[in-house]
Amino acid sequence: MGGFATRILGLALAMLPVPLAAQQAPDHADLANPLTGTDSSFELSYGNTYPAIAVPWGMNFWTPMTNKMGDGWTYRYGDHKIRGIKQTHQPSPWLNDYGAFSLMALTGPLKFREDERESWFSHKAETARPYRYGVYLADYDVTAQVTSTARAAHFRFTFPESEQSWILLDAFDMGSMVRILPKERRIIGYARNNHGGVPGNFHNWFVAEFDRDFEIAETWGDGWKRNPGIAQAEGQHVGAIIGFKTRKGEQVHVRVASSFISPEQAALNLDREIGKDSFEATEAKARDEWNALLGRYKVEDPDIDAKRTFYSALYRTLLFPRRFHEIDAAGRTIHYSPYDGKVHPGPMFTDNGFWDTFRAVFPLFALMHREVDGQIMQGLANTYDESGWLPEWASPGHRDVMIGSNSAVNIADAYLKGIRGFDIAKLYEAIRKNADTDQGRPKSRDGKTISSVGREGVDWYNRLGYVPYDVGINENAARTLEYAYADFTISRLAQALGKPRDAALFAARAQNYRKLFDPESGWMRGRNRDGSFQAPFNPLKWGDAFTEGNSLHYSWSVFQDVQGLIALMGGDKAFAAKLDSVFDSPPKFDDSYYGFTIHEIREMQIVDMGNYAHGNQPIQHMIYLYNYAGQPWKAQARVREVMRKLYSSAPDGYPGDEDNGQTSAWYVFSALGFYPVTPGANQYVIGSPLFRHAELALENGRTFTIEAPGNSAANIYIQSATLNGRPLDRTWLGHDEIMAGGTLRFEMGPRPNMAWGTGPAAAPFSMSGRGKR
């Protein structure tokens, strides 16, 4: 017993990611924790993430499976057993996965059914870094490790002495095939599982190459029927079984790659991205890629936990959207289209919901990752060519999820911030088409209706200035507010493209938010087609006229004209008091629209921050609106409270769903000290920097530095600020100011300076001019 315990302890120590001597200055990649947010469930989300072993924007991720095949909650931190390590493309549990397959190692009598082969494991014998995952499979005395490239992965299984050692490839259900090629030491095949958004010819072709001969090579077929001696199986759910004898400590390597184009392209991806590299070499390349990207954000502070949270959030922000394109034998970028099922030249990106990510993820790309942002815009132009529409939620093709037409925001923001290299004329055409087509009418190239693009209720919106409450269109008020903001960004883009008539038209539509403001209640409210407001009205009612929130959350969704909203609400003091009331009111709610308490409501209720629901995206910019009303010290206090209270690098480290990086990007920006409240306005609103020193290495070769030498948990208030040595008495930064490089310096203190950032010119951009106090 003592010897066994000692062996397990030795294994756990061997798997530690960072030697003790090196923990003083770990790599940036070693500060990021892929387990952040994994302690989640359907009822309560602390991120709803899984540990994604990947490279930034990789086509494929890899993750351990603690749950059954096809379940969106593929890895739950509280589970105790692992049944495989799978290739995944899942953007969130609510969208689920596609093209997934898994590998699993075991010893002893063969068990290939997923609920029989699972093994006990412990987080004490598990290591997770962005570039490597390792776990001790206790039932089989096997250590499984995986490291990733963009389109391939390298597995290393360390076996005990055993007469019966196995590696299984489960190709999953909904249509799959495996073929074992013993002479080539390979398994080839495909997986077709998906949850929508794919053409009829969708396949994820894979190849798995072993570094040793097979002693047993067989398959299983539908119904978990074992096929001894049969090297090929095809059906609804099939898999491959490889068996051999192993010596104690023997390592078996499996190099795996896949392609959405063809089996030949899968083999090419394997040869190009891994070839004959060792596990250590593959891991080093992945680690270097993460360190190069994360290292462009250098933060210095005595609070190591805050640094871990920062780099964990940054890692999440840089995972999506994933590259869906590949490189052919001639070195050309090509992609299988998830829209028309054909292979086309050029880039393609997918797995993103713009309702989430227009707020902070894409603004971060436009600031720090401009080349990638330009490639994503090229991908959007390709999507338009191949489907006739811009995507709003792609996974991998059009998915009918969430509301709005926020693709326009991302395109406009990128162009207005100087990103080029894509066909802006084509994308503007696509934006205009999207903005004027009702969601029920769009047709794909093959004549089918696509309900996930266009604007539902747009005819009403263009005629009345709002989507009515009483015409059978759910979430009508939220749609109106989001359309109006998108129209603002379209107006700005039209102006930049020399289209003054369009610019005027969409600027006028950007003021449509005013149509929903109810002066009696002081909140945004659904409105009927005859002009009357919906009745009865409960501002605490989630859903109904709003999307995953209530009127207290959505009333602030006037990104383009906060000063106009301030005037509607009675001026600066009344506006700030209304912001205060969201935090100060008890967390009461009305969930009758859903018929049960959805997890977003529960996450608001339990954190003791009133009705502030940071766990969902619509309200995440709200704190920064204090700056517009001349009370920036309240923004400074609240933003630090949210960072301290709702975020960490632990498995319960998020306040709600971490959707494609948005909740993480909020933290990244906020920790640096500013936030993009209004993409399209080329400004960032100042909050309260978290670190004493931060450096941003910009792609243009310049460095932007944020200094706050007196920063601490107590010193959260800005006393004064300078930009490149000159006094800064406004609460915003221009995009060009950051891109020029330089130093932003804050003097911090424990009490608010109510004179800083409150002058007439201190407030950030609004379409309406600043009114009287």
- pLDDT, one tens digit per residue, over 642-673 is 999 999 999 999 999 998 999 999 999 999 99
Candidates 49, 175, 198; CA nearest to 189 is 175
pLDDT of 585 strictly over 90: yes
* Helix ranges restricted to H, 399-455: 407-416, 424-435
Strand bridging mode 683-686 / 674-675: antiparallel
Q: Using DSSP, state whether 185 is helix, strand or coil.
A: coil
Spatial separation of the C-alpha atoms in residues 517 and 150, rounded to whole Å: 48
Residue-wise pLDDT for 97-116, tens only, equals 999 999 999 999 999 999 99
Q: Which residue has the tokens 């009918």?
A: 400
The pLDDT value given to residue 450: 65
pTM above 0.75, yes or no: yes
The pLDDT value given to residue 773: 35
Q: How far is CA 431 from CA 353, 461, 509, 639, in A?
A: 17, 16, 15, 34
pLDDT of 16 strictly over 50: no
Spatial separation of the C-alpha atoms in residues 179 and 189, rounded to whole Å: 6
Residue-wise pLDDT for 217-276, tens only, equals 999 999 999 999 999 999 999 999 999 999 999 999 999 999 999 999 999 999 999 999
Stronger pLDDT, 440 or 615, i.e. the higher one? 615
- What class has domain 2-294? mainly beta
The pLDDT value given to residue 439: 62
Q: How far is CA 661 from CA 57, 76, 528, 618, in A?
A: 11, 19, 36, 15
The H or E element that residue 377 is part of is helix 370-387
DSSP conformational letter for 397: S
Q: Which residue has the tokens 């149509």?
A: 515
Spatial separation of the C-alpha atoms in residues 331 and 410, rounded to whole Å: 29
Backbone angles phi, psi at 617, to 5 degrees: -70, -30
Spell out the SS3 assignment of 467-529.
Answer: CCCCCCCCCHHHHHHHHHHHHHHHHHHHHHCCCHHHHHHHHHHHHHHHHHEECCCCEECCECC
Spatial separation of the C-alpha atoms in residues 661 and 629, rounded to whole Å: 29
The pLDDT value given to residue 1: 39
Stronger pLDDT, 322 or 400, i.e. the higher one? 322
The pLDDT value given to residue 26: 66
Q: How far is CA 45 from CA 145, 190, 359, 414, 649, in A?
A: 27, 33, 20, 31, 15
The pLDDT value given to residue 15: 47
pLDDT of 449 strictly over 70: no
